[in-house]
Amino acid sequence: MDFKNVVAFQVVTLCITLAVANSVDFSYPAVFNFGDSNSDTGELAAGLGFLVSSPFGQSYFNPPSGRFSDGRLIVDFLMHGFKLPFLNAYLDSLGLPNFRHGCNFAAAGSTILPATASSISPFGFGRQVSQFSRFRGRVLQLLQGKKFDHYIPSEDNFEKGLYMFDIGQNDLAGAFYSKTLDQVLALIPMILLEFETGIKKLYDLGARSFWIHNTGPLGCLASVIATFGTNSSKLDELGCVIPQNQAAKAFNIQLQAFCSKLKSQYPDANVTYVDIFTIKLNLIAKHSKYGFVQPIMACCGYGGPPLNFDIRVSCGLTKILNGTAITAKACNNSSVYVNWDGTHYTEAANHFVASQILSGNYSSIHLADKMPFLL
Residue 357 has a CB neighbour count (10 Å cut-off) of 24
Tell me if 119 sits within 8 A of 36, measured CB to CB: no
Catalytic annotation, pick one of 101, 287, 344, 351: 344
Q: Are strands 209-213 and 270-274 parallel, antiparallel or unpaired?
A: parallel
Residue 197 has a CB neighbour count (10 Å cut-off) of 13
Tell me if 77 sits within 8 A of 375, measured CB to CB: yes
Nearest Cα to 188, choosing from 267, 107, 248, 273?
248
State how far the Cα of 288 lies from the Cα of 132, in Å rounded to an integer: 41
State how far the Cα of 146 lies from the Cα of 152, in Å rounded to an integer: 10
Catalytic annotation, pick one of 36, 37, 80, 351: 37
Catalytic annotation, pick one of 166, 171, 310, 341: 341
Q: H or E stretch including 126?
A: helix 125-143
For the question of residue 344 being annotated catalytic, the response is: yes
Letter string b/e over residues 77-95, b meaning 16 or more CB atoms within 10 A of that residue's CB: bbbbbbebebbbbbbbeee
For the question of residue 37 being annotated catalytic, the response is: yes
3-class SS of residue 337: strand
Tell me which DSSP letter residue 179 carries.
-
State how far the Cα of 287 lies from the Cα of 305, in Å rounded to an integer: 17
3-class SS of residue 77: helix
3-class SS of residue 106: coil
Catalytic residues: 37, 341, 344
